[in-house]
Amino acid sequence: MAENRRIEIEAEMKAEMDRLKTKFQFKQQELETARLRFAMGGGPPSTLQRTRYAAPQSTQPTPGPSRLQNHRNGNMSIPMTDVSPSRRRIATPLSARSPEAINGKIEPIAFPGFHDSFAPRGPGASKVNASISPRTSPRKGKGKGKAIEKTNKDISRPPQSPILLSQHQQHSPGATRDTDRNPFDELPVEEHHVQDGGVTGSSLDVLPLDEGRDCLHRVIFTHCAPPIGKEAPQLTMQLLLSTTIPSPLQDTSRDINGVGHGYGQYIRACGNLLNLFGHTSGLTLKTTIPSAGDLAEDSTYQALVKVVGESVLQVANILHIHKLDAPLYGLLDLIKFLVLLFPSFRSFFLVTISQPGSSTLTTLLCNCMRSFHPSSDLPASPSSHRTKSLDVLLADAIGSIGLDIMEALTWNIPDVQAHLLETISSDSSMFMNLLSPSQPPWLIQRSVYLLLCLSLRPQLLASFIGSNSGSNLVVLPYARHLTRSIVGFFANLCILHDKTSIILETYSNLVPSLVLCLTDAADRFWEEDEDFANGSTEDHDALIKVLVPALCLIHHLFYGMEVNSQPSLSADLPHILQQAASLPAYNGLDHTFIVTMTRLGYADVPEWLGAERVMLIDDVAEVAREMLELFVGGPEADLIVSAYVPDDEDKIHPDEETQDEEPSNDAEIMDTDDS
């Protein structure tokens, strides 16, 4: 599910990039047409020229008459360059110049974080742009060449494309557009070499630090979580900035474990994100967070990921501590996007952070899932919004997103880092809460699927079976209705681990639960349930997919170790069943085991299942017979089998008569020889 979600998100982002590129091409063609019309027609009419070239009304002093008159007469000398020799370049009108070119002043930015997200930032932006077109030098004192250079830079770069790649396409012949490139893949940082005013071919596959920051900027400042209920969608960053955190004076009831200082940490973390993406003066951040100063010395993409990751995790921990579900929901959805789109964040979020008040992402998710409480109406899915309050909807959404992030981390991290998931696999209290019978069915199903995914990692086996909390046979058989995922989870543990006896000691109710699971399935097939027999074939297939693996698993627990020259555990089966049968939760389990294995091994499978399903059950009949022989034997076993094979005696007596007749025949033959 996480992989499908990631593919869907990438497809949406690619479609958005194509749309913006198409819009840019149309805009570029429109500007090119206007420029050609201006060059071929000898200039626009005087009325239009006066209207278009008139200086904007402002309180600032306007240029002198001589300069304006020279501009109207077209006496603008443009240096001839070999950047585009086939076309004549026309000066940019005065009204289209930036405020900096007119009065030498820069207008203040109202909110830096949302201003011009496509403009290059950082100390290397001016150097990169200068190296792309080195022969277009501005003329000092006139301001005309500067305006031409600025216009060329703005036109030659599509909004959603890599900066170096787009400018290389404008200035190198034969270059093609790389529309299939995904800017949200791994962003390695390497030195890009510029030669002869262009970019080498090897550097086109490398995104610099500024481009990596642009990608993060667009994701963080444009992210909007799906709306909950009838609430209007809101930008995640705007929601975080508008959230009220109790100040230290108002938070006197908190303890001293960093909780009471959440106000200052929240302000610093949010300010760190704004300073990082809002300022265009470079990567030097003025913040009190110690890790933020690393960017001034180590200007790499990993340092950028570190600052963003620490800030996001600090904000998420504070929101969880103060139980602010609305902003926490939006922030967790943003973290899910970062994990799916940026591989660098997957490794960083799993590493232990030494900052006070911070924790790893897995610890945060476990805390959220451990305190998750079900809603009162138990919806079939988290998207069911019927008659539920906003708080309940937010709780369900946080639980769903938390499981999404855990699944994404489980599937996408490499094997060398799989041990970092032990925080999740070893948290028994979290899974006890998620698998509680009072939880919604969709949450139990998702939690079991997460367990199955974690069991596929051999590095996590020790965390599953390492700690034994003692005998738990007195616990009610919650695993009575075992699903295919639960059976697969225990099958992975038994097959991947060498010592099955440890698993039987750790999960002492595993065998009794498997017996109850097989009994429920056998009863549905042999109790002549008309509703089930006339039901859909999908229900029949689902039940068989639980019955067959469960029977093979219980057979592997007592016979599978003989292959590895280990002592067989077959002698332990009667002891385990008799011990469990003495408890109220598993009363009569020994009798249930005998009836179930006899049905599966000797009874005729109902024909209404179909030939294919009957064949699947017949294939495991021999397995059931071997399990029955472990528990009963001798005349008692023959008596049990005769109850399901009534014609057995009729088949035996003719054979016995034949054997009795053979000696007489031999005697007759001997008499004949003597005579």
Q: pLDDT, tens digit, for every residue of 51-67?
A: 444 444 444 444 444 44
Q: In terms of pLDDT, which residue wins out, 531 or 258?
A: 531
**How much is the CA Rg of the chain, to the nearest whole Å?**
37
CB 457 within 8 A of CB 466: no
pLDDT score, position 668: 47
CB 413 within 8 A of CB 456: no
Q: In terms of pLDDT, which residue wins out, 300 or 43?
A: 300
pLDDT score, position 181: 41
Please list, in sequence order, all residues whose beta carbon lies within 8 angstroms of the beta carbon of residue 124, skipping any fewer than 6 positions away: 208, 209, 210
Q: Which of 489, 629, 606, 602 is nearest to 546 (CA)?
A: 489
User: Are β-strands 198-199 and 194-195 bridged in parallel, bridged antiparallel, or unpaired?
Assistant: antiparallel
Which range has the worst mean pLDDT, 63-72, 215-224, 309-318? 63-72
* pLDDT tier for residue 475 given thresholds of 50, 70 and 90: very low
pLDDT, one tens digit per residue, over 74-110 is: 544 444 444 444 445 444 444 444 444 444 445 544 4
Which range has the worst mean pLDDT, 101-115, 390-404, 579-593? 101-115
The gap from C-alpha 271 to its chain's centroid, in whole angstroms, comes to 27
Which range has the worst mean pLDDT, 66-70, 164-168, 303-307, 313-317? 164-168
C-alpha to C-alpha distance for 511 and 507, rounded to whole angstroms:
8
The number of C-alpha atoms within 13 Å of 570 and in the hemisphere containing its C-beta is 14
Q: How far is CA 63 from CA 94, 101, 102, 224, 395, in A?
A: 10, 11, 8, 46, 62
pLDDT score, position 313: 87
Q: In terms of pLDDT, which residue wins out, 432 or 167?
A: 432
Res. 156: pLDDT tops 60: no
Res. 48: pLDDT tops 60: no
Q: Which of 331, 326, 323, 318 is nearest to 372 (CA)?
A: 323
Model-level pTM greater than 0.85?
no
* pLDDT tier for residue 412 given thresholds of 50, 70 and 90: confident
C-alpha to C-alpha distance for 130 and 557, rounded to whole angstroms:
70
Res. 458: pLDDT tops 60: yes
Res. 523: pLDDT tops 80: yes
C-alpha to C-alpha distance for 474 and 107, rounded to whole angstroms:
74
CB 381 within 8 A of CB 442: yes
Res. 549: pLDDT tops 80: yes
Res. 605: pLDDT tops 70: yes
Q: Which of 386, 553, 576, 570 is nearest to 486 (CA)?
A: 553
pLDDT score, position 241: 85
Query: Residues 532, 537, 543, CA angle at the centre, nearest 5°?
Result: 70
Identify residue 66 by its one-letter amino acid code: S
* pLDDT tier for residue 303 given thresholds of 50, 70 and 90: confident
* pLDDT tier for residue 353 given thresholds of 50, 70 and 90: low
Which range has the worst mean pLDDT, 270-284, 393-407, 491-505, 565-579? 270-284
Secondary structure letter of residue 235 according to DSSP: B
Which of 27-41, 151-165, 299-313, 399-413: highest mean pLDDT? 399-413
Q: Which of 421, 330, 346, 410 is nearest to 2 (CA)?
A: 410
Res. 22: pLDDT tops 80: yes
Q: What is the 3-state secondary structure (H, E, C) of 162-227?
A: CHHHHHHHHHCCCCCCCCCCCCCCCCCCCCCCEECCEECHHHHHCCCHHHHHHHHHHHHHHCECCC
| Residue 152: burial class (beta carbons within 10 Å; 0-12, 13-18, 19+) | buried
For the residues 259-264, what does the mean pLDDT come to?
61
pLDDT score, position 580: 80
Identify residue 529 by its one-letter amino acid code: D
pLDDT score, position 392: 78
pLDDT score, position 210: 57
Res. 24: pLDDT tops 80: yes
Phi, psi angle pair for 408, to nearest 5°: -65, -40
Q: In terms of pLDDT, which residue wins out, 170 or 602?
A: 602
CB 282 within 8 A of CB 358: no
Q: In terms of pLDDT, which residue wins out, 47 or 451?
A: 451
> pLDDT > 70: what percent of the chain?
54
C-alpha to C-alpha distance for 372 and 384, rounded to whole angstroms:
17
Q: In terms of pLDDT, which residue wins out, 569 or 144?
A: 569
* pLDDT tier for residue 474 given thresholds of 50, 70 and 90: very low
Res. 627: pLDDT tops 80: yes
Q: Look over the chain and give the mean of its residue pLDDT values, rounded to a whole number.
A: 66
Res. 4: pLDDT tops 80: yes
Identify residue 489 by its one-letter amino acid code: F
* pLDDT tier for residue 539 given thresholds of 50, 70 and 90: confident
C-alpha to C-alpha distance for 265 and 276, rounded to whole angstroms:
16
Please list, in sequence order, all residues whose beta carbon lies within 8 angstroms of the beta carbon of residue 500, skipping any fewer than 6 positions away: 494, 556, 557, 560, 561, 569
Q: Which of 92, 192, 77 is nearest to 152 (CA)?
A: 92
Q: Which of 313, 400, 442 is nearest to 5 (CA)?
A: 400
Q: In terms of pLDDT, which residue wins out, 331 or 470?
A: 331
Res. 157: pLDDT tops 70: no
Q: In terms of pLDDT, which residue wins out, 358 or 12?
A: 12
Res. 388: pLDDT tops 80: no
278, two tokens: 């809002």
C-alpha to C-alpha distance for 29 and 141, rounded to whole angstroms:
32
CB 128 within 8 A of CB 165: no
